[in-house]
Amino acid sequence: MRTRPEHSARIGTLIACWSSIEYHFTEMLTYLLGGEHWIASEMLHEIRRWDVRRKIVLRYTQKILGVAAEEKAASHLDLDALRELGSLRDRLAHGVFIVPQSLPDTVLLKEGYGDGEQHFPFTVVLLDELLEIYFQHGSRVSELWMQYVSYNSQKMFAAEVERNPKILTDLENMIRRANSLVAQAQPSEPEK
């Protein structure tokens, strides 16, 4: 692969994209279960089947955030596609590549042995298309994760305000002070 750095860079980026998707997925599960990140991470490592992961995320989303949120999660997360992307990531990360001299824009992913050996061609164009797919799914997962964070933050803030209503007055004062400082920092109009 040293002779095909453009392929290596794209394959490495695909692998990194998948790490981001898995991280945000784990974080969503952490929020949904109200636990520690390492517990959710261990749980996901034990649950390798994406259909089971999907059911868990959708079930807890509905219980915690409501049916509308579950429907949004289901529409945002094409978990069948994520399963395929995860499988492809594993194949690329752990695969053996052949660099054919006769195909300068292609690397071959070798799978199987002997009579069952197969070669799957990956061109730069194909890898770019795959990257776009990984980016799209990654942004959907991170967007949904941000909704969980926002929900959790709002819930925590509401509970804190209930315990200490003075917080709202303090916030209003801080905002007034910040606006005042911003106004003072504005350049003055030159005199004519």
In order along its 192 residues, the chain shows pLDDT tens digits of: 678 899 999 999 999 888 888 787 777 777 766 666 677 667 766 776 666 776 777 777 666 666 555 565 555 566 677 778 888 888 888 889 999 989 888 999 998 888 888 999 999 999 999 989 888 888 877 777 777 677 767 676 677 777 877 777 776 777 777 777 777 776 666 666
Q: Inter-axis angle of helices 5-33 and 50-65, to 10 degrees? A: 40
Query: What integer pLDDT is reported at residue 192 of this predicted model?
Result: 60
pTM of the model: 0.63
Which helix or strand (DSSP H or E) is residue 110 part of?
strand 106-111
Dihedral Cα 138, 139, 142, 143, nearest 10 deg: -150
Q: CA–CA separation, 8 vs 14, rounded Å?
A: 10
In the three-class reduction of DSSP (H, G, I as helix; E, B as strand; rest coil), residue 123 is classed as strand
Continuous H helices in 77-123: 79-94
Q: Is 118 helix (H, G, I), strand (E, B) or coil?
A: strand
User: What pLDDT is stored for residue 182 in this prediction?
Assistant: 77
pLDDT at 9: 92
Q: For residue 143, give every residue at least 6 positions away whose Cβ sits within 8 Å of its Cβ, in sequence order, or none.
A: 76
pLDDT at residue 35, as a whole number:
66
Residue 157: predicted pLDDT: 67
pLDDT at site 51: 65
